[in-house]
Homo-oligomer: A and B are copies of this chain.
Amino acid sequence: MENFDFYNKTKIVFGKDVENKAGEECRAIGSKVLLHYGGGSIKKSGLYDRVVKSLRDAGVDYVELAGVKPNPRLSLVKEGIQICRKENIDLILAVGGGSVIDSAKAIGVGVHYEGDVWDFYIGKVSPEKMLPLGVVLTIPAAGSEASPSSVISNEEVQLKKGLTNICLRPEFSLLNPELTYTLPDYQTACGITDMFAHVMERYFTTTKGVELSDRLCESVMKTVVHQAYRVLKDPSDYTARSEIMWAGTIAHNDMIGCGRSQDWSSHGIEHEISAIYDVAHGAGLAVVFPAWMKHVYKNNIGRFARFAHEVFNVDYDFEKPERTALEGIASLERFFKDIGMPVRLSEMDIDDRNIETMASKVTGNGTHTIGGFKELSKDDVKAILKLAL
């Protein structure tokens, strides 16, 4: 096990009706909130009304900023920063999924910085603090409700970049599985793919001697596979929705990834796809991950065989473990297909014309490699994207 620091201060309040606690949780932090959300869905569902009532009942003043879209945009972030400064906002309340939370995090760190908030995302400077953030989660997927990460798209330069810093953890997150009953199946499946990817990116490690976190990762993956079928069969199954929602948080709050090297190259490659094509992040991952696996599995056949056996119950082939490893990758593809995800770029009408560009961007024009399970050069990324066609 490698040395590590783990600090997760986010208070989780989980269960039925917890969105009605938004007011009291905000009130414990401040008296003026930026209410940040996406479009009309939270108004149609009545969630908006309940949250606003909760704020009012608690005597919390609020200013609204709606309009967050999937792959949240830098321009809206900048608008949010201006509002927070002008209105002397004490904290941000993000009501939505990963995009809304990530946008709120960008606003929260930008408020304290005189330069361009994009500087944080290109690694020019590190944020030191963030406006306190509360969350009412509506889409279990990104894990941003308890993670120290945020991903923002800069539409001017077609770049999508992630920022990870301990100050990006929310103060509290309210998780009510019932709020996810009305998610379209496709969005549910995208979220499931995203959280599953978050675990795989921790699971495929080069660190030896990490039995506990290996097993914890397998527990989350097995549960997600099992409950995914249940939730798509019956979208109002409270138990299945609860398991998926809690798994999404645990998949990415990093408790199960402590003390081990991680490999985030699939996320990085997917970000290049969705920066250009604006596909759903989860769908992009369902395409990239199996291709990445086919390209890298020979670096540690044993680990891929274990993945197949422990997560997908593939019989271990003692004669030829490689068969087990390959069957695991095939099982993963089958799982993604079963839940309605694409597993090839062509299914999303993406051809090979931008492969060179995407491989170049993710490797800094070929100047550096990405990943750790296998270090990927620009040519490796091109090969992966070709496998994904």
* Contacts from A to B (Cβ < 8 Å): 1-16, 18, 177, 208-212, 215-216, 218-220, 222-223, 226-227, 238-239, 242-243, 246-247, 250, 255, 258-259
Let me know if A239 and B209 touch, CB within 8 A: yes
Tallying the copies of this chain within the complex gives: 2
Contacts of A11 in B (CB 8 A): 5-7
Sample (19) of A-B pairs whose CB atoms are under 8 Å apart: A1-B239, A3-B15, A4-B15, A5-B11, A5-B13, A6-B11, A7-B9, A7-B11, A14-B259, A15-B259, A209-B238, A209-B243, A212-B223, A215-B219, A215-B220, A216-B216, A216-B220, A219-B219, A246-B258
A247 near B1 with CB under 8 A, answer no
The verdict on A8 contacting B5 (CB below 8 Å), with A250-B255, A259-B14 known, is: no
- Residue in chain B with minimal CB distance to A4: B14
Which B residues lie within 8 Å of A4 (CB)?
12, 14-15
Complex Cα distance, B223 from A177, in Å, reads 31
Cα–Cα distance between A209 and B218 once the two chains are bound (Å): 18
Chain B residues with CB under 8 A of A15: 1-4, 259
Measured in the bound complex, the distance between the Cα atoms of B208 and A197 in whole Å is 27
Docked pose: A361 CA to B14 CA in angstroms = 35
Return chain B residues, CB-CB under 8 Å to A2: 15
**Chain B positions within 8 Å of A3 at CB level:** 14-16, 18
Find out whether the CB atom of B258 lies under 8 angstroms from the CB atom of A14.
Answer: yes
Q: Are A220 and B227 in contact (CB under 8 A)?
A: no
A67 → B minimal CB distance (Å): 32
Q: A134 → chain B, closest Cβ, in Å?
A: 13
Q: Which residue of B lies closest to A242 (CB)?
A: B1
Complex Cα gap A231–B208 (Å): 16
**Chain B hits for A219, CB < 8 A:** 212, 215-216, 218-219
CB-nearest residue of chain B to A221: B215
CA–CA, A18 to B1, complex, Å?
14
Cβ distance A95 to chain B, nearest Cβ, rounded Å: 20
A10 proximity list for chain B (CB < 8 A): 7
Question: In the docked arrangement, what's the CA distance between A247 and B238, Å?
Answer: 30
Q: How far is the CA of A227 from the CA of B1 in the complex (A)?
A: 13
- Using Cβ atoms and an 8 Å threshold, which residues of chain B touch A242? 1, 209, 259
A235 → chain B closest CB, angstroms? 16
Knowing A6-B12, A8-B8, A219-B219, say if A211 contacts B243 (CB, 8 Å): yes
Tell me the bound Cα distance from A223 to B210 in angstroms: 10
- Separation in Å of the A178 CB from the closest CB of chain B? 11
With A3-B15, A246-B259 given, name 13 new contacts (CB 8 A). A4-B14, A6-B12, A7-B12, A14-B259, A209-B239, A210-B243, A212-B246, A215-B220, A215-B223, A216-B220, A216-B250, A242-B259, A246-B258
- A12 partner residues in chain B, CB cutoff 8 A: 4-7, 258
- Complex Cα–Cα for A5 and B92 (A): 21
Query: Chain B contacts of A223 at CB under 8 A?
Result: 211-212, 215
